[in-house]
Amino acid sequence: METINKITASKQTTMYDHLYKMIIGNEEVLSRIIKAAVDEAKHLSIEEIRRLIEGVHIGNRIVNPHFHLVDKEGFIKDEGIVYYDILCYIDVPQEYGKNIRVYLNVEIQNNPYPGYSIITRGYAYVSRIVSGQWGSEYDYQHYDGMKKVYSLWIMPKAPKRKDGHMNVYETNERIICGTTVEEKEVYDKGVILVIYLNKEHDLNKKYEVYDELLTPLMVLLNNVLDYKGKQRIIEEYGLNTKKIESEVKDMCDLGESIALEARNEGKQIERKEKNIAHVKKLMIGLQMSFKEAVSLLEIPEKEVKEIEKYFQS
């Protein structure tokens, strides 16, 4: 807690972003995300997926036969750099014995109104990740090596009217005339999934679908509950608290630190306003100078300059 308290306001957003990524990238949470988002993993249980990606921890590069973290900086010549929150690829075992590789991008979007559509940004990310496969998954002689991309956008501060909503955007074949039908895997190369959560969600009410994912996400990504409250929900939904304990504690400590800072700032403003009123009363009622008034009131020197600005304006 002492370390968290030393974080300056300018670094609070950066710290939150880091903790969000650590929480989402934890295998206990990521396995549930994969179960909900990745069609190729629907036949697997959450525990099977967790074992599939076991050992992953965002920030460390894990050597895993099925799971690989990809550099979060996506650079393409003449197109610049895109910074992803989480980007990985997974070789998902299928029931018929083959592995299917899919790319998964997860983004935490705290601003529900960024000034553009999250959907269009999602399409940009899918396009960039597909382009980034050039030379590794496919080339001009082998386009069929292109791998499917899932771009998942989690919005933990969405409006209450959208709480629990999940929308999918994907490519589908539409036959205009004739009977030609292509295999879905030929054109099904990009999926965008948006999850909307609201921090005021009533924990006594379960979400209609994917409650096993949405409630833990809502609790973990919002600072409404204290650590014990979050721990209770995490355990109730079957997550291993030991594997996610550090990040959850840091998130709670950061939230408490910001709240404490806000309260202290409020007290400072209130004290300043009272001192200004007292100084003003002495200067007008007793015809004192500003220096005489602050001296009589024994106002600390570091606060005098701030109060003096009021009388100089």
Amino acid at 47: E
Q: Cβ distance 190 to 126 under 8 Å? A: yes
User: Are the CB atoms for 250 and 38 separated by under 8 Å?
Assistant: no
The answer to whether the predicted template modeling score (pTM) of the entire model surpasses 0.95 is no
Rounded to whole angstroms, how far apart are CA atoms 117 and 125?
13
User: What are the pLDDT digits (tens) for 86-105?
Assistant: 899 999 999 888 999 999 99
What would the pLDDT profile of 201-239 be if each residue is shown by its tens digit?
888 889 999 999 999 888 888 756 777 777 888 888 888
Query: What is the per-residue pLDDT across 250-282, written as a single tens digit (0 to 9) for each?
Result: 654 444 444 444 455 555 666 777 777 777 777
Q: Which H, E and C letters describe the chain, residue by residue? A: CHHHHCCCHHHHHHHHHHHHHHHHHCHHHHHHHHHHHCHHHCCCCHHHHHHHCCCCECCECCCCCCEEECCCEEEECCCEEEECCEEEEEEEECCCCCEEEEEEEEEECCCCCCCCCHHHHHHHHHHHHHHHCECCCECCCCHHHCCEEEEEEEECCCCHHHCCCEEEEECCCCCCCCCCCCCHHHHCCEEEEEEECCCCCCCCCCCCCCHHHHHHHHHHHCCCCCHHHHHHHHHHCCCCHHHHHHHHHHHHHHHHHHHHHHHHHHHHHHHHHHHHHHHHHHHHHCCCCHHHHHHHCCCCHHHHHHHHHHHHC
User: pLDDT of 111-146, one tens digit each?
Assistant: 888 999 999 999 999 999 999 999 999 999 999 999
